[in-house]
Chains A and B, each alone.
Chain A
Amino acid sequence: MEFLFYFGDVFTPFNFMLLLIGTIGGLILGATPGLSPTMAVALLIPFTFKLDATQGLILLGAAYTSTVAGGAVSAILLKIPGAPANIATTLDGHTMAKNGQGARALQLSFISSAIGGVFGVLLLIFLTPVLAEWALAFGPSHLFWLAILGVTVIGSLDSSSVVKGLLSGCIGLWLATIGFDDVMGAQRFIFHSSVSGGINIIPALIGLFAIPQVITMFAKGRHQHDAEVLKVEKSPIMDSIREVFRRSRALSIGTLTGSFIGLIPGVGGQIAGLVAYDQARKTSPERKKFGTGHSEGVIAAESANNAMVGPSLVPLLTLSIPGSPTAAVLLGGLLIHGIFPGSDLFENYPDVAWTFINSMLIGQILMCVFGLYVAGLAARVAQVPNAVMAAVVLALAVFGSYSVQTSMGDVYIMAALGTGMYFLERFGFSAAPLVLGLILGPIAEANFVQGAMIANATSSMGTYFFTGVLNLTLIGIVVASIAYSVWMELRQRRYLSKEDTLEQQERTT
């Protein structure tokens, strides 16, 4: 119950103002198609430079929470998901809006988001200290395997091709070795003065997430969002609250599915929303209504994608392993404030950790309250033309990258990585495992080198890294996650080739 001691810190005037700004700003950013939560949080990091660690994290945490929920606004009113996590919401939410129930769909979405979100943060509160205590037993070999696990799980689960996902992770790990070696002080892969100090994580994050999106907006040419914004009519809020609780089965399926999926590194909100929607549909006596503007669809999808937020931070705060790409950006935010999350975070920085977590809890409620008021405005923002959005994001990306170390070298790295990532993404490579490789690379290397030293003094490398229950369990999970992803990919390929054969048969007859 230690978290209760730090509740007051959230309500200091400045911290609460930051929480409000983060929540409202996040709702608007989330409602803007093309601005994913990851990208929104990455672009907000420069705003935290002048703040202390707690204040910076309050702003970033509030933005993370409300961008996920804000994405429902454009999903419902425009049929354009604000973020991948809101894809499932479009299925019933937009149909509801077309049937003249836009306001009700938005209310259901924000209320169920808040309930799911609060449950997720409570899980974060009660699970994190237990895991953090358990993580104290981790030695260098375990931390090494844990870092590798983070890269491989995201590489295999977050990508459409397992091999390309793992390859992206490898590229990230290699990029992390650029610069000076920590032990010998030797230069490694320094082919330009911009990278002599290594690749700073913030410009890399901004480049890898924002620039491909900017170029994608260029690719659309002179296209403007031509989707019609559906009107938000009035709807009694009490009716919506009653409706959410009346649909408690969909709500609990969404909340539990989202929380569980959030704990698995790399799976993310998109899967949480879609799996919860699918499960709610399969178990509903009114399953035929799904897809025709059924409230259960919105409730399940939205409670799931916000329930995922809190648990996705559990591996980050306990083991320094970001559970999602947005958590990876938050890790970047922590690191620039000199805080290294891990087993001793709650011992060394209890004020920062607990105030941040508590602010996320309050943020969920604020998100619900403001969501209902900002929805109409956010829908208008969602219609900002691609040309304006691309120019704004590009300027913010240049500014954000420069301001980390006031170095143009960082801006060059941001632009080079971002442009390269756009082309790689066109060929099935994914930014998330690359970023994870870049973040976890130094952790993996430091523990590998430390482990190698211990092994030389005590036993052999093989014995030190490949024996022991914890090592074997972690290696087992690495292998199992890759094997599962390969199996899923083969299944999907078989399904696609069956479809191709059927198509060819149809053509010949």
Chain B
Amino acid sequence: MTDRPRTQHILASGLVALVGIWVAWLSFTGTPARAFLFPRIISVVFVALALWTFGKALLGKTRVGPGLSVIAVRNILPGIVVLLIYVFWAAPTLGFYTASTIAFFILLSFYDPAPHGEIRTWVKRVLITAGFLAVMYGLFALLLGVFTPREILF
């Protein structure tokens, strides 16, 4: 095991342990006490297991999980940024179909292995985006009548 995953394991398990301690603190200070009886029992087990995991990570004894490589972080970061903007801002502001079209096209363009200098591949991306959203709109909005966040355009 290299040093990087060990540090990562310490950070990850440390974070989980902190959440556990926070949950325990809230459970034991929350009122009325009867409402927090079950959370108190869970939080005790939660903290015990989290500290155990943290201790093992500190001693370098945890071998489970590959951790995160620099390449993986570089690859996932743009996708996660698009995901978070799409969910927390675009979908409630622009409406589901508009936001989905934009997010779909950006993700497709960014992660598509096809060359970015050819017009043909861009046309293909536009067609895939339009096709998918048309199917979604036809199926959910028109056929099944399921509600989606709608503001502008749809």
Contacts and interface: CB of A to CB of B under 8 A. Distances in A.
A376 interface: no
Nearest to A386: B111
Contacts of A171: 16, 19, 46
B32 to A, nearest CB: 5
Interface of B is mostly: helix
Nearest to B105: A391
Interface string A179-200: 0010110101100000000000
Given A391-B108, A403-B146, A427 B67 contact: yes
A217 B86 CA distance: 17
A163 B39 contact: no
A423 B8 CA distance: 11
B87 interface: yes
A65 to B, nearest CB: 23
Say which size band chain A's interface belongs to.
35 or more
A184 B80 CA distance: 39
Contact of B32 (A160, A186, A411): A186
Interface extent on B, as a size class?
35 or more
A222 B32 contact: no
Contacts, number: 191
A173 B42 contact: yes
Interface string B77-94: 011100110111001100
Residue among A171, A188, A215, A427 with the highest chain B CB neighbour number at 10 A: A427
Interface string A377-388: 000000001111
Would you call the interface of chain A mostly helix, strand, loop, or mixed?
A: helix
Contacts of B39: 174, 177, 188-189
A183 B65 contact: no
A388 B67 contact: no
B26 A395 contact: no
Contact of A426 (B46, B68, B149): B68
Contacts of A181: 35-36
Interface string A403-432: 100101001101100010011111111000
A163 B88 contact: no
Contact of A184 (B35, B62, B64, B68): B35
Contacts of B42: 170, 173-174, 177
Contacts of A188: 30, 35-36, 39
A163 B53 contact: yes
Contact of B75 (A221, A385, A414): A221
| Nearest 6 A/B pairs, CB to CB | A428-B64, A218-B79, A428-B65, A387-B111, A186-B35, A181-B35
28 contacts: A46-B146, A49-B146, A161-B62, A163-B49, A170-B49, A174-B23, A181-B36, A183-B34, A186-B36, A188-B35, A214-B83, A215-B79, A215-B80, A218-B111, A220-B75, A222-B112, A386-B111, A387-B111, A388-B108, A391-B108, A392-B104, A394-B86, A395-B100, A395-B104, A399-B136, A402-B147, A422-B76, A449-B37
